Chains A and B, each alone.
Chain A
Amino acid sequence: MRDMRLWRLQLALMLAVPAAGRLQAQETGQVAGTVTNEQGQPVATASVVVQGTRLAVVTGLDGKYLIPEVPAGTRTVVARLIGFGVATQVVTVTAGQSVVADFRLSVKAVELQGPVVVGYGTQERRTVTGAVSTVQAAQIAELPTSNALKAIQGRVPGVDIVNAGNKPGDSVSIVIRGNRSITANNNALIVVDGVPSAGGIGDFNANDIVSIDILKDAAATAIYGSRGANGVVLITTKGAGTGGVKTQFTADAYVIGQRPYGLPTMMNPQQYLEMLQAAARYAGSPDDPSTVLSAQQLAAYTAGQATDWQKLIERTGQQRSVHIGMNGISENTRFNLSGNYFDQTGTAVGFDFNRLTGNASVDHVQGRLRLGLTASYVHSLQATALGDGLWGAARQQTGFGSPYDANGLIVAHPDGDALAFNPLKAVQGVRNDVTRDRFFASAFGTFQLLDGVNLRVNFGPDYTHQSTGHYEGADAIFPGHTDREASYNQFANLQYTLDAMLEVHRDIGKVHHVDATLLYGIQKFRGSAANESAVLIPYDEALYYSLGQGQQYLLTTALTETALESYMGRVVYTLRDRYTVSATVRRDGASQLAPGHKWVTFPTVGLAWQLGDEPFMRRFAFLKALKLRGSYGVTGNSSINAYQTQGALLRIPYNFGSTTAPGYAPNGNNPANPNLSWEKTAQADLGVEFGVLDSRITGTVDWYRQNTSDLLLQRTLPQTSGYSQALQNIGKTRNTGVEIALSSINVNNEHGIRWQTAISWAHNHNEIVALAVSDTAGCPAGASPCDLNNGWFVGQPINTGSQTAPLNSNGGFVGNPQQRVWYDYKFVGIWQQSDSAEAARYGAKPGQIRVADINGDGLINAKDMVLQGNTYPKWTASIYNKVTWKSFDLSVLAAFRWGYTIFNTYIPALFGRFGNIVTDYWTPSTPSNANPAPNLNGIPLNYGNTRGYVDGSHWRIRNIQLGYTLPPSLAGRFRATRARVYATANEPFVSYKYDYFDPESGWAGGSPVYRSLLIGANVTF
């Protein structure tokens, strides 16, 4: 610690001395103008920058901009926008005066130049040495959704965005360039306006986002050191920098209708009865309807009563969004205010989500000092009643039962089976409400010490309070469950980030340019939680708001604190605007890790060469731009829970007689590990960026390899060790991949037709390289050593869930559905009557599932399990097309995911207790080889899951949008400066190779995926 304090002192002195030095008032003027396209129409959201300064604004919807406080003198002003070229003008700024600079931009496929947000600042894309992908606001806006990340799903190669659920308000996960870690988090770090986000991206309003920059390789992510290994998503919100007009008011609203798809077809009563009769005959029991059906079922069957339970709970989901915003500028102060209301009702009864967002930004310049603040407040409510289990409950019904009795009242157990409850009754009686309040802000102050030398301080608090109220009314689920139960769990998390930076941007002579950043930063997290519960709540109206009136009141509270301390230095040196070297060193200390292992240094270097600008390349006229870059660096992952190194005792209460006795025992899942340290990823990246045919075709190709070592591994142990699991730094994984992004302007003619195409393609190969064990005994061929208990095989991808079976003993899916390796018995077919002698050897009989006896020893046991694919696609791709003609625009996004195996959760259960999916099955006269003879009485099939491994390869149209922008004359009639109406279809088409659920989510246990059609308008006044 001592040397660190010294460090800090030096830093402080460095910062303080020049500050006290030369400080004089500077004379300034302003630059204003309009940016248009080749047709003379205004171009919105183009950036306008005064070169050599930090002064930058974005044009308004009328194409206008205004830059105040420009130091007097000759200045170069640059305008640019993604999809267009760059325009430059030199103006002379006179103190106290305004100078006009208008720009006309021409169309370009993808900008290989322009500023890129790189973390702790922006950089010219030309000189960026790392792999960075950028998505602009216009692309995000094409897919109206509650979550901005969903809007860029499939657009960026190597960035895998998957829905964590399909309930309204469910989050998404973002994984960049595959999974590195088996136990620790693989989710990318999300940084909003320079502040690492503590509470997920779901709280953001997509309308407030200007760009999303994705840092993929070590050169780009190393500045986030210990948190950069999984890639970084930088989100830049509008802040206060937008708009060249005095004030502007925007309204954006849409409505949407949504329907689920990919639902299985359930047996109707006739089919169900036939299955039961087949089961009875197979078991040698009487098969008359009065025996196989319960009394209720028989009565319903006789009366011809039938219910389609999935239809009953399904409804058309609605989604609405209203956004209003206002921004303006006054002298040295800019502001931006916006508010958004978002509301979504799910595609099944009982699901609702709404969110209110308020956002305020202010930016003030006073001489050398610039202060800015962007603050957001979000309030959201996600009500899910029974949650994803609702769909399972509907499918559990056999179709005989009626949801309502003769008086129209809801029947609790329509089939007479106590475990098969009426989903309508459950929706009525169960509440699960998640309320979130989040306040987060990003404040900064910059002080110009010298020309091109700034001191910057960032402060970013992020506070979230979340409460989950759960209530289960009497008889809502179980018959005779007269007890009303409720719980109220809440947490309050405060994280803040404080960074001090010294930034240098200097041209040295004509050929040298240096950007340097020195940083000292801290991040602290404090989370407190309280969980309360009670039973025997006296009346329904109390819900979870009156736990004190119940009995058996329980309360637990907990506190978690973590801290991170960092030093970082970055130098980017550019020679002749062609050769760039960047180097970063970051040193991080994290409280979660063991003493002596808390600190580690992460170095990186990157090189970029604008090969296309070399004189000898001029002869290749078709080649407009060509850049080569390469980088190598190390980043880390410390995302483990606090206190895991310490082996805290587990509290287990007991009683002696009526006396309560607290028990404390070693935690069987968490032995103290005083050696727990960082998980490290070394990554090499080679990339080429090019533009040909006058940059009508541009592209980027990247190759990368990541070697992750000292994996933070939660291992399942042999229980004779005294522990079930332990977290250790053992093992290695590797990701190798290729990413290609291509963009082209296919047509851009005098008739105003413009057709643009973007293609992305990515391949990632993930494998475990080393494990804690070196045992080869029992490993499948080509996959040893292996850790069978955890389902880890060297040479195979990472498997989550600490087991190989797809489902746990309760039938729930285990692990992350995107990260599973299948190791199970091999389904061969169904034992047929001609096989009966052989079947008998295995204790089976015709009509049962036959699995392969791999080692031929006449027994089916653990030695007969084999690898059967995994959930990692061989490649993913997307094709985006956009055609504009006059005021119309049409875009279509198609996505591909190919070469992987998923577990089909909709395999027919074929037992006679709950609802069943329509299927064929084995009978002596119709000997199916796909499904066995059904079982009676809810007894699961032997080896039933082995039927479930299916090819998940698929392609889809992710969305289609048609828009019309009103001509200014028409818009002007109702005093609007701009108006656009649009219609979007999301997920209109999916093509996959097996029945039922959408394979993207990897399993079907939750709520189904939905299609939506929406209509919206965006008006600016």
Chain B
Amino acid sequence: MKRLSYGVPTLVLTLGLFACVDLTEKLVSNLGSSYVDTPQGLTDATTAIYAGLRGFYGRGETDYALTELGTDAWTAADQVSSGGAQNWIYYDTYEPTYTSQGSFLDAFWGWGYTEINRANTVLDHGPQVPVGGTLTQAVKDSRLGEAHFLRALAYFELVQQFGGLTINLHAAQGVSTEATRQSEDSVYKVIIDDLNQAINLLPVTQPDYGRATKGAAQNLLAKVYLTRAYREWNTANLQPDFQQALDLANTVINSGQYSLVPNFASLWCGTHRAAVPADPGGQSFCDLTNYSERNTEFIFVTQYSYDPTQYQPGQTNYDHLEFLSNYDGNPAWAAGLVRDLDNGRPFRRLRPTPALLDFFAQTRWAGTPGPGTDVLDTRFDGSFQTVWFANGAAANPTGTCPTCTSGAPINGTLLRDAGGGAIGAAAGSDTALVYLGYQVSDSFRMSKAYRIGTPCTTAPTADCGKDNDAKGMIGYRHFPSLKKWQDNLRVGGLASQDGGKDFPVMRLGETYLIAAEAAVGLNQPQLAADRINVLRVRAACAGPPQCQVSHKSDPAILVSAAQMTLDFIMDERARELAGEYNRWKDLRRPGKQFFLDRIRKYNPYAQPHIQDKHYFRPIPQRQINGVTGTPYPQNPGW
């Protein structure tokens, strides 16, 4: 029996090790869906809708492709789709390669429905979550109000691009591939209903900066009514909608919660820090060192952060890349410039159309354009970078005047303003490149050490060519950079794409324009002019060093009731809101003919191709392909 002793341990081991195997799964590193039904879960589920805003506002290529390319104000720069696998220049040109399979369409569509599903999750579960602890009735009301507001925002973004939509008012239960498409009218009803609920539920001010407020909901509703007013199926409500838009805009303006910041440029940038060349004219890069992104004018923002615990990888503001021109690495254009963090990493996706520069000409260069004309309106310099300080190892080299027949050398040393006064004259600094809004003589070019780029001579309705380097003119690589989104606080250095600057979705400046547009619709031109003049007086130059004298009470800055046409409103929107990701929707708002006319007139690259069907974006092919049962309707012509 001795050998038995070896067998017994084996058996004991066998039986002992076979403890019951539990096949029940337990989530440890993640939270299950029932978390949404807890007080903190309700708040966190609401936060997720906000986080989703980063999927569109300020992120990727989708935002500018669908809101700025192919408009009267913006056209493609030389690298619009460089680095991509698909050529997406068709968003600018409306060429036949633009189809329902276009990149970004599906991403945008999916963004909208993800936001809607997240909001629906809050609205489905929220009402049952018991009040208690940190979840007071006020907090609970606010969360539901926020979800209504954010759902309305997503539907509004989608309906402005695609027209009629599938309406989901509850979170998805299980997987369904069937979908029906509702009319635009029904979508607007949902949006208006959501916003009215949001207005009822939301507080006037929020303890957390960045949460939606009553004012934000009112402001959005104003724009929704304004947009609905023009719809061809909405003739019955045309005037009441304009009136609602005007009233709501006025409510926001008069609420006491918001005010225009005195200096337009300070909406986007701070003043230059001590270590860099002084920029008294405010024409150089945008320095965020002394900038506060919280101000009285922003009504609702998508918040970004430089702290990676506050964003998912990739969910950072990308807009600082898109509007920048090729200032660097091209000695034939401007020497002494290398790429740096201040001036940004130029992706060269968008450039201003000749028309956009021309819209600014009437404020900046009123009267006879040219040297000696004073700066009237600060919005051009507040929006665009036109001056680059030399940052290369050497001082500006001498060169030859590009269009001078004499080939005389350039020998100037300092940047001078239009009147000949020194601008960027800090010790040790020098200026390498300047864009001017007007034509200059050969002798003027030769008297300066810096490269000068001037507008195309055929502006505003035609472009004199994409590549105008040899003529010293603005082209598709070299143009004033929009500086509103420049971000020199990026942690990873100049190559980093991770911008942390907040993205204003709505600001009070636009509210004045909404009011003015509604007033035009109601045929109250004086009211419209009054609203616009508030913005123009704010934008008027306050005096040296930007301009020689103050223009705050200069009659030249003001507009009259007689000027108040829809086209003027659009021109003014271009000046006030250039590059704020609204243009395509703005042009579309008054109707198809207006949209086509403006683009045909001012975008020479879109003009040959744009047609009726482009008034709506095509429903993404993935949606068409994925729906089972009744086929999903495509927009006409696509």
Interface residues of A (CB under 8 A from B): 1, 5, 8, 12, 15-16, 19-20, 23, 25, 285-286, 290-291, 294-295, 366-369, 416, 418-419, 445, 447, 455, 457, 459, 477-483, 485, 498, 500, 520, 522, 524, 535-536, 551-552, 554, 557-561, 563-565, 589-592, 595, 598, 642-643, 645-657, 659-666, 668, 671-673, 715-724, 726, 728, 772-775, 777-778, 787-789, 807-811, 842-844, 859-862, 913, 937-942
Contacts and interface: CB of A to CB of B under 8 A. Distances in A.
**Contact residues on B (Cβ < 8 Å of other chain), bracket:** 35 or more
Given A563-B21, A721-B113, 20 more contacts: A294-B329, A457-B14, A481-B493, A483-B492, A558-B29, A589-B23, A642-B25, A649-B30, A649-B36, A651-B30, A652-B51, A668-B114, A718-B625, A720-B113, A724-B110, A728-B175, A861-B100, A862-B621, A938-B83, A939-B81
Given A455-B10, A718-B627, A665 B79 contact: no
A718 B80 contact: no
Given A447-B10, A642-B25, A719 B110 contact: yes
Interface stretch (B84-92, B402-410, B413-421): B84-92
A657 B209 contact: yes
* Residue among A535, A598, A642 with most chain B CB within 10 A: A535
A326 B25 CA distance: 46
A561 B10 CA distance: 28
Given A367-B6, A720-B623, A15 B121 contact: no
Interface in B468-521: 469-470, 491-496
Contacts of A715: 175
Contacts of B311: 653-655
Interface string B207-241: 01111000000000000000000000000000000
A554 B308 CA distance: 7
Contacts of A457: 10, 13-14
Interface in B52-83: 52, 54, 78-83
Residue from A590, A655, A939 with most neighbouring chain B CB atoms (10 Å): A655
Interface of B: 1-4, 6-7, 10-11, 13-15, 17-18, 20-33, 35-36, 41, 44-52, 54, 78-87, 89, 95-97, 99-101, 103, 106, 109-110, 113-114, 116-118, 120-121, 166, 168, 171-172, 174-177, 179, 208-211, 294, 303, 305, 307-312, 315, 329-332, 338-341, 345, 466-467, 469-470, 491-496, 609, 621-628, 631-632, 638
B309 A653 contact: yes
**Interface residues of chain B: helix, strand, loop or mixed (majority):** loop
Most buried by B among A498, A500, A591, A939: A939
Contacts of A564: 21
A524 B45 contact: no
A719 B30 contact: no
Indicate the member of A295, A672, A722 with the most B CB atoms within 10 Å.
Answer: A722
A643 B176 contact: no
B168 A941 contact: no
Contacts of B97: 843, 860, 942
A286 B7 contact: no
Contacts of A716: 622, 626
B312 A656 contact: no
Given A551-B491, A654-B47, A724-B110, A718 B179 contact: yes
Contacts of B23: 563, 565, 589-591, 598
Contact of B84 (A483, A536, A940): A940
A774 B17 CA distance: 50
B29 A860 contact: no
Contact of A666 (B85, B118, B470): B118
Nearest to A788: B625
Contacts, number: 352
A647 B171 CA distance: 13
Contact of B28 (A369, A559, A666, A942): A559
A554 B97 CA distance: 43
B626 A552 contact: no
Nearest to B495: A478
Contact of B27 (A368, A643, A939): A643
Contact of B626 (A455, A559, A561, A718): A718
B44 A663 contact: yes
Contact of A939 (B89, B121, B315, B339): B89
Contact of A646 (B25, B209, B331, B340): B25
A654 B309 CA distance: 8
Contacts of B100: 861-862
Contacts of B106: 719
A672 B210 contact: no
A636 to B, nearest CB: 15
Contacts of B14: 15, 455, 457, 500
Contacts of B114: 668, 719, 722, 724
B177 to A, nearest CB: 6
A646 B32 contact: yes
Contact of A789 (B81, B179, B622): B622
A535 B492 contact: yes
A480 to B, nearest CB: 4
Contacts of B210: 655-657
A218 to B, nearest CB: 24
Contacts of A650: 48
Contacts of B2: 25
A12 B52 CA distance: 56
B4 A657 contact: no
Contacts of A294: 329-330
